[in-house]
Amino acid sequence: MSKIYQPLDDFRIVELPEKQLPFWKIAGPGAILVGLSIGAGESVIWPLIAAEYGGSMIWAAVLGVFLQLWINFEVGRWTITTGETVYTGYSRIWRGFAPLFILLTVVGWIAPGWARTSGLALKALILGPGGWGPDTFWTMVTFAGVAAILFGPKMIYQSVERTVEVLVAIVTIGLILVAIAVGSMETWQKLGSGMINVGYIDPGMSVKKLFSALVFAGAGGTANLFYTFYLRDKNIGMGAQLPSLQNPLRGRSEKVPATGFLFEVTEENRKRFTEWWQYVKKDQILFFWALNTFTILLFIFGALAVLHPQGIVPEQGKLIYDEAQILGEIWGVAGQRIFLLVGVATLFGTQLALVDGVSRSISDIIYTNFRGAQRRDLNWWYLLIAGIWIVGGCVITFVMEQLNVSELGFLFNAAYMGGFAMAIYVPLTLYMNYRFLPDFAKPKRLSTFMMVIASCVYIGFAISSIVWEVKQVIGG
């Protein structure tokens, strides 16, 4: 095995950089996670559940976002303390986690459900769902947009952050306008009742579907781990000791260390860590938890107000358009166009952040762990993985379309596989932070308690899902 893996250097001891700028001047990493979160889970999966079952299980959406808040805290804790990605931390525990997380990332995200749904939403906005063009063509259009954003500007992170922030703003404002247009006191009451109806599961809801929905209330799957890269590229905490990822098509790159740092236990470093930790908490509470919860409830509200009363459960590829169509009847063409624009912004933001995050994850794992990989720069690996992902996404969409396979099925399956990944990495992240970090940087009681709860939830659902699958096979 030693012939396969590159040895991991021990942590180098350096000073923890000082936080010099106010929060709002370095805000952003949490906003990209919101851009990821408002994709399929918020705009497709949860509105579908609300359209079919009403508001009785909204509590699970709220719980899903809340649990992921604590997961993101611990991902952030590792990166601001060491400057490493969590994937490198996992490899410090066991080298076999490197190929395992490549596998989990590929299996979780390879089917381009978001890209196809993003293309369908764009087609509906421009031409209507019956307009010209196969799904593959419109998927290629959205992937071309992703490629332009990633490989146009010099600094990849800045391009992604600015684009996603604009898209999140469009989504939030659009959803508020929609809620004003279709809102009624009765719908608000249903929303409130569903939030406090904790533990209720509709008899028609399978454990697999509920597990998938819980995972995609928030970023979900390995997407929560992308936060580690955004903190590094924003120079947060020890991430400031490492160069940001540059576009390899725009000039020479800088050698990126594969491993990170620790700091001596001094009063000054303790003070600096506390300031960075407060940044992570504020970033996640304001952007990820508050904004994510707000937008997912608005998407559910729209489905409760527009689709559920008419008994409409949209067909594949038509959820965004069906809801927009009914909004058009209530609020005219302006309402229809606003919701279609919200749909495009939501799904394209997720597609962009996923291509970026997946490419960062796989390239980081390869570059850090495998012998010979560091002969090439990290951003070369990023370009290679992103290129393969985009071309592969177009090919898979074409095959899906020829076989008449629903993109919704792939979205649910991605969430399902992501749930099993979370059952592995949530307890692993807590263990990693306890094992390697200085005492004052380790998780405190509340964080530990919430991570144990999250671990139990995802592991419990994973086991229940396996039991359910076995029963389906036996019963079938």
pLDDT of residue 19: 95
> Could you tell me the CA-to-CA distances from 78 to 171, 274, 422, 431 in Å, in that order?
31, 13, 17, 11
Q: Locate the DSSP E strands across 8-144.
A: 12-13
Decide: 256 and 104 in contact? Cβ < 8 Å.
no
Residues 6+ apart with CB under 8 A from 104: 222, 417, 420, 421, 424
Alpha-carbon torsion (466, 467, 472, 475), positive or negative: positive
| 438 has pLDDT over 60 | yes
pLDDT of residue 252: 62
Instruction: Calculate the CA 60 to chain-centre distance.
Output: 17
Give residue 218's pLDDT band: very low, low, confident or very high (50, 70, 90): confident
pLDDT of residue 291: 92
Tens digit of each residue's pLDDT (9 = 90 or more) over 132-172: 888 899 999 999 999 999 998 877 888 888 888 898 888 88
pLDDT of residue 86: 98
The C-alpha atoms of residue 168 and residue 38 are separated, in whole angstroms, by 8
Range in 63-67, 211-215, 364-368 the model is least confident about: 211-215
DSSP string of 366-410, one letter each residue: HHHHBTTGGGS-HHHHHHHHHHHHHHHHHHHHHHHHHTT--HHHH
Q: Which CATH architecture has domain 12-475?
A: Up-down Bundle (1.20)
DSSP category for residue 5:
B
For the stretch 433-436, contacts whose Cβ atoms lie closer than 8 Å and that sit 24 or more positions apart, written own/partner, are: 433/74, 433/77, 433/78, 435/93, 436/11, 436/82, 436/89, 436/92, 436/262
The pTM assigned to this predicted structure is 0.93
Q: Which of 393, 323, 392 is nearest to 42 (CA)?
A: 323
Residue ranges covered by each domain of the chain: 12-475
Tens digit of each residue's pLDDT (9 = 90 or more) over 72-121: 999 999 999 999 999 999 999 999 999 999 999 998 888 887 788 888 88
Q: Which of 249, 288, 229 is nearest to 64 (CA)?
A: 288
Give residue 317's pLDDT band: very low, low, confident or very high (50, 70, 90): low
Q: Kindly tell me the burial class for residue 360, based on how many C-beta atoms sit within 10 Å of its own C-beta (0-12, 13-18, 19 or more).
A: buried
| 24 has pLDDT over 60 | yes
Q: Which of 82, 2, 75, 429 is nearest to 259 (CA)?
A: 82
The C-alpha atoms of residue 379 and residue 390 are separated, in whole angstroms, by 16
For the stretch 402-405, contacts whose Cβ atoms lie closer than 8 Å and that sit 24 or more positions apart, written own/partner, are: none
Residues 6+ apart with CB under 8 A from 292: 33, 34, 37, 38, 42, 65, 218
HSE-CB of 444 using CA atoms within 13 angstroms: 4
Decide: 159 and 153 in contact? Cβ < 8 Å.
yes
Average confidence (pLDDT) over 445-465: 95
The C-alpha atoms of residue 104 and residue 108 are separated, in whole angstroms, by 6
